[in-house]
Amino acid sequence: MNTINIATLNKKRYLHVLLPLFVSSIIAYLDRVNIAYAALTMNKDLGFSAEIFGMGAGIFFVGYILFEIPGAIIAEKWNPKGWLMRIMITWGIVSFFMAFITKPWHFYLLRFLLGTAEASFYPVLYASMIPRWFTPEERPKAIALMLTSLQVSAIIGSPLAGFLLDISVFGLKGWQLLFVCEAIPALLFGILLYFILSNDPQQVTWLTDAEKKYLSDTLSHELKQKGQHYTVWQALKDNEVLKLALIYFLWITGFWGFNYWMPTVIKELSGWSNIAIGLLFAIPMTLSLIIMVYIGHSSSKTGEKRLHGALPLVIASIGLGVGVFIKDPAVNMIFVCLAAIGVFGPFGVWWSYPTTFLSGAAAAGAIGLINSSGNIGGYVGPYLIGIIKDITNSFEVSFVILACMVLTSGIMMLTLKKKV
């Protein structure tokens, strides 16, 4: 029997599987959150109130929710990499047209279509791609590494957005350039992804026969060990899945409230320039990246998931609930860092959990449901902040509400089963 070198196998999988997924996730996150930076000048140019912006930011998730579960199941049963290509090309087209909105209904329509286009992107990664290449023990670390793309996109995108907002080219204002420049990579990489990614270890030429057999045997053993085989409908009704959906709703309400509104909060508090805000926001993103990788590595090493997920969320609740009352911009940035570390930290652990007891279409459907629940929070968080800001002319009440929701999600995470 041929032996294999796990370190060599990991390098191959990281290069040929994780790296393409990492790049596609960077592009996805840039196209999703560029609206937060565009708002620094777009809202004034178009006369959008905080409520209009919050509604438009959140309505993305309505389109996302409607097509999340069907899209995830289609990808699993049809062709995951082909579905990813379709997603990236369509969201690139819609993002491009965001540059030419002039009225609130344009804003609402295109944000809805962007959500529709991007629906099921992450469930395909979590349920269909990574489980085909990595064992359950390897997934927390693999997912955490892949999802550092969220922070990397912010580290790249924040200074880029700050720079673009202050220039004008070909009659396009900075916020319009932002949408155009960040749509093009989605179109190009979506096509490239189809040719460089593979759905199945047995189809590639860059693995040896021994490596292919090792992955086949290991992943087949995983399926046998799971015991109960769920149908899609059984998975969607499972108590543990429903609990995961509620936890994710509470967590992601705070996550997207933080991500969409924090640049505006910092701007109002400090009066700093757009470029300065973009550069400074890279600091909490860098710290959260380091912590997320550490948490994923630690969970893979120890096998523990609940505490690894809950503790960062408790920290996030402190950052959100206390930081909003701190009026010194420099001190406030400390709490922004805590919030960022907390809301990003658990992702690697979190998305490895459903596939410990679900697989195939059942996992795709369940992850689609969980992600959809989070995306309801993605609608609620930004819109809630916008409404309360217009009523109170302050961010304090809304951020305390978000902090309580995130804290509750952390406590609930401790109630998840150790083994399913």
Structural contact between residues 267 and 41, judged by C-beta atoms closer than 8 angstroms: no
- Of 406, 147, 135, 125, which is closest to residue 293 (Cα–Cα)? 147
Distance CA 96, CA 86 (A): 16
Let me know how many helices (H) and strands (E) the chain has, helices first: 17, 0
HSE (side-chain half, CA atoms, 13 Å) at 199: 16
Per-residue pLDDT, 2: 60
269's enclosing H/E stretch is helix 239-270
- What is residue 336's three-state secondary structure? helix
How does pLDDT run along the chain (420 residues), one tens digit per residue? 467 899 999 999 999 999 999 999 999 888 877 888 898 899 999 999 988 988 888 888 888 888 888 998 899 888 999 999 999 999 999 999 999 999 999 999 999 999 999 989 998 998 889 989 998 888 888 988 998 998 888 888 878 888 888 888 888 999 999 999 889 999 999 999 999 999 989 999 999 999 999 998 888 876 666 545 677 788 888 899 999 999 999 999 999 888 888 888 888 888 888 788 878 888 998 999 999 999 989 998 888 999 999 999 999 999 999 998 998 888 999 999 999 999 999 998 998 888 888 878 888 889 889 988 998 888 888 888 889 988 998 899 999 999 999 999 999 999 998 654
Distance CA 150, CA 316 (A): 17
Q: Which are the contacts of 226, defined by CB distance < 8 A and separation ≥ 6?
A: 356, 357, 358, 359
- What is residue 169's three-state secondary structure? strand
In Å, how far from its chain's centre is CA 233? 25
In Å, how far from its chain's centre is CA 194? 21
Distance CA 141, CA 45 (A): 43
Per-residue pLDDT, 169: 87
Q: Which amino acid is at 358?
A: L
Per-residue pLDDT, 228: 56
Q: How many residues does the chain have?
A: 420
- What is residue 381's three-state secondary structure? helix
CB atoms within 10 A of CB 103: 11
Per-residue pLDDT, 163: 86
HSE (side-chain half, CA atoms, 13 Å) at 288: 36
Residue 393 is classified by DSSP as: S
Question: Going from the N-terminus, what domains does the chain have, and what CATH number goes with each?
Answer: 8-413 (1.20.1250.20)
- Of 56, 117, 102, 114, which is closest to residue 260 (Cα–Cα)? 56
Residue 383 tokens, joined: 């819109």
Q: Which are the contacts of 200, defined by CB distance < 8 A and separation ≥ 6?
A: 132
Q: Which residues partner with 169 through β-bridges?
A: 172
Q: Which residues partner with 172 through β-bridges?
A: 169
Per-residue pLDDT, 420: 41
Residue 89 tokens, joined: 């090309």
234's enclosing H/E stretch is helix 232-237
| 169 phi, psi to nearest 5 deg | -135, 135
Rounded to 5 degrees, what angle do the CA atoms 10, 282, 92 make? 70
Distance CA 117, CA 103 (A): 21
Residue 271 tokens, joined: 């009066």
In Å, how far from its chain's centre is CA 287? 17
Per-residue pLDDT, 419: 54
Per-residue pLDDT, 270: 83
Distance CA 267, CA 245 (A): 33
Burial of 104 (0-12, 13-18, 19+ CB in 10 A): middle
